[in-house]
A and B are shown apart, each in its own frame.
Chain A
Amino acid sequence: MKISAALKPIKENMNPDDTKLSTLLHQGRVSPPLPPRFQENVWRRIDANAVPAKCDSWLDALAALVLRPRFAYATVTALVLAGALLGAHQGAQLAKQDAQARYVAMVAPNALR
């Protein structure tokens, strides 16, 4: 409470357009020397993080696509159609094999062959 009350007149007196103050503030900033091979290390860390980030984004994109209603409806429709057609074809083949086996068992029982 006391500190904010003390800073209040200073804030009121500050002028953001004061160029002299800005220059002084820039000159007063200390820039420590960069460690050796700083830039190279930065790129190395960026590279190291690049792969998981890419994988995540790929998975996220796929998840977002899957959750899209239009895509989900289209996929379900395609799967139902493909499954039913393939199953019906297989069922017809099974019925044919069964009918053939019944006929052969009738005209040529195993005991006679």
Chain B
Amino acid sequence: MNRSLIVVLGALALSAAVFAGSYFVGQRAGVIYCANPADDLSWLRTEFHLNDAELARVRQLHESYLPQCAKMCVLIAAKKAEIQAALANGTNVTAAAQEKLTELGEVRAQCQGQMLRHFIAVSQAMPPEEGRRYLAEMEKITLGSHEEIEQSMSDHPGHEHGTN
């Protein structure tokens, strides 16, 4: 094999290794420097440029919301268990199972309402522009997931509901 070719290929391999090593070290350093696992609200602070007073207000809202959220989680888990128990003994959706499904939907709706009220309260504790951005982002994350599922169902052949 040509000596020059070996030199050029070796230099390319070495360059790739140097770049990959630097990239890996830089990435680790970036994660360590920017991450703050001790504070759950670190993302809010950096993303929405909150000052100490705004962050303190948001933290207060956050801490008062968490127990309500946990209570809803427990309620939803209980309703899911009831539905599973109602479906376990048969191959049909019984009237009791249908009732439990309706109740689960109601609890979920209550929970979403409570979540949105919390997001609105947090957004009002922020500077107006940042608050609007926060609310849009949270609505997209929390309500958008349902929209994606519904969109994918209507895009799927055989699921064209109401398009006769």
Query: What DSSP secondary structure best describes chain B's contact surface?
Result: helix
B7 proximal to A (CB < 8 A): yes
Interface size class of A (residues with CB under 8 A): 35 or more
Tell me the B residues contacting A by CB distance below 8 Å. 2-5, 7-8, 11, 15, 18-37, 40-44, 46-47, 62, 65-66, 69, 72-73, 76-77, 108, 111-112, 115, 118-119, 138, 141-143, 145-146
Q: For the complex formed, measure the closest distance between the CB of A6 and the CB atoms of chain B, giving whole angstroms.
A: 50
In the complex, how many angstroms separate the beta carbon of A38 from the nearest chain B beta carbon? 33
Which residue of A is nearest B137, CB measured? A100
The reply to whether A107 and B36 form a contact with Cβ atoms under 8 Å apart is: no
Give every chain B residue within 8 A of A98 (Cβ-Cβ).
31, 35
User: Which of A66, A83, A106 is within 8 Å of B23, CB to CB?
Assistant: A83
User: Is B142 in contact with A108, judged by CB distance below 8 angstroms?
Assistant: yes
B24 to chain A, nearest CB (A): 6
Q: List 15 A-B contacts (CB under 8 A).
A: A59-B5, A62-B8, A66-B11, A83-B19, A84-B29, A86-B23, A88-B29, A92-B33, A95-B31, A96-B47, A100-B43, A107-B69, A108-B142, A111-B76, A113-B112
